[in-house]
Amino acid sequence: MSTAITTPQREPATDTPPADRHARRFGLPIATALVMGNIIGGGIFLLPASVAPYGTVSLVAFGVLTLGAIALALVFGRLAHRLPQTGGPYVYARAAFGDFAGFLAAWSYWITAWVSNAALAVAAVGYLDVIVPIHASKPATIAAALAFQWLPALANLAGTRYVGAVQIVATVLKFVPLILVAVGGLFFFDSANLGPFHPAEGSTLGAVSASAAILLFSYLGVESAAVSAGEVRDPRRNVGRATVLGTLGAAAVYLLGTLSVFGTVPHDKLVASTAPFSDATNAMFGGSWGGTAVACMAMVSILGALNGWTLLSAQAPYAAARDGLFPKVFTVKRRGVPTVGVLVTVVLASLLTVYNYTAGTQGVFEILVLVTTFTATVPYLLSTAAQIYFLLSGQSEKVSRARLARDAVLALAAFGFSLWLVAGSGYAAVYQGVLFLFVGVLVYAFMAARKQRAAASAG
C-alpha cells in the first residue's frame, strides 16, 4: 500500500509578518509586478530570434502557450487561495502527495530558478554587446554575465523592501521598449519579413511543440506570487489576482511584441540576431540610436527579472528546509530574505554560466532554456495533479464545490499542457533534466533519513 497519500501532513500556518524594517509585505500592485517582472524578463527580449528558425508557425505555438499559461495561472490562484504559504508548488505537492512529491517540486523549481538566472544573464550580455561590443572577448563576456547575476543578489540581501522597490521600477521601465515595438512595430509591419511558415524539416505539430518548449521560458514566473505567498498581504485574496493579472498583461505584450519583431526584422537577419528588439527599433526608425536605447531598457528589464527570480530561487528551498526536507541552513532568513538560498543560488548560476561559456557551447541561451523548460514542468505537473487530487478526493475545504466543474476543466487542461511541454523539450533537455532530478533523489534520501532519526530520538 502506498504511503504517499496516507502520510500525515502538517499544513504550515501562513508565514508571520516580518518585523524587520528592511522587510515588507507585498501588496497587490507589487505582487502583480513580481509576476509580470518575472514573466517579462529576458525571455521576450531574445526569444523572437530563438524561435525564428521554426518560422511563423512559432506564433501559433505562442497562442497555444498563452492559453496554457492562463490555465496554469488560474490553477495556481485557486491553490494559493486555500494554501497561502511561502513555497507555492512545494506546499501544494506536499499537502496532496507527501514529503517526497513536495521535495521533488521544491528541488526541480530550485533548479529551474538558478538555471534561468544563468540564461537571463546570457540574454542581458547580448543587449550589452549592442552598446559595448564585448563578445570578441570571452573574459569580458563572462565578467559581464556574472555582474548581471550578482547585482540583483546584492539587492535581495538588502531585504524584501528593496526587492519590491527594484521590481516596480524595472517593471515600469521594461514596458517602454516592449510597447514601443509591440504597438509602433505594427505601423512598420511588412509581411515580406515574416519568412516561411515552417522552414525546418519534420511535421508542423512537431515544430509547434519544439518552439513552444523554448517559448515556455518566456512564461516562467506564472507561479511567482504563489511561491512568495508568505510575503504577500492578504494572500488568499491577492495571490490569485496578482497571478491572473500579471499573466494576462504579459500575454498581451508578448503576442504583439513577437508579431511586430517578426514583421519588422527580415527573417534571415532575425535568425542570427542577439538583440531582436534593438534590431526591430533600428528597422523602424533607422540608424542605431533607437536600438541602443532599447538595449539599455532591455538590460534594466532583465535585471528586474533576475531580481525577482533570485528571491524565488531562495523561497522554495526555504519552505522545504522548514519541514526538514532541505538542509536546515536554507532556513536562515534576514530582512525578510532567505540569505543562504540567495547566496547558494547565485554561486551555482555563476558556475553554470562560466562552464557554458568556457566549454565553447554554441547556442548557450537555447540550451539553458530547454533544460529549464523540463525542470519547470515538474512542479507544474505536481501542482496541477494536486488540484485534481483535491477535487477527486472531495476535500471541500480546499476546493470550492460551487466551482468544481470549472476547476476540474482548468486543472486537466493545465496538466495536459504541462505534459505536452515535456514532450516538446527534446531528448537532450529531458536527459539533462532527469539527471538533475536523480541527484535530488539522493539528497532526499539523506534528508529523509536524518529527519527520521531526529523523530525517533525525540520520541
Q: Give the number of other CB atoms < 10 A from CB of residue 110.
A: 29
- For residues 221 and 120, what is the distance between their CA atoms, to the nearest angstrom? 13
pTM: 0.73
Q: What percent of the chain has pLDDT over 90?
A: 2
Which string of b and e fits 272-291 if b means at least 16 CB within 10 Å? ebbbbbbbbbbbbeeeeebb
- Residue 12: pLDDT band with limits 50, 70, 90: very low
pLDDT at 226 over 80: no
Predicted confidence (pLDDT) per residue in 327-340, tens digit: 888 888 877 778 88
The mean pLDDT of the chain is 76
- Check residue 363 and give its pLDDT: 59
Residue for grid cell 509602433: 184
Higher pLDDT, 143 or 198: 143
Mean pLDDT of 196-202: 70
pLDDT at 29 over 50: yes
- Determine whether 180 is exposed, middle or buried from the number of CB atoms within 10 Å of its CB (0-12, 13-18, 19+): buried
- For residues 130 and 146, what is the distance between their CA atoms, to the nearest angstrom? 18
- For residues 436 and 416, what is the distance between their CA atoms, to the nearest angstrom? 23
Residue 210 · residue 426 · CB < 8 Å:
yes
Helix (H, G, I), strand (E, B) or coil at 26: strand
- Check residue 18 and give its pLDDT: 45
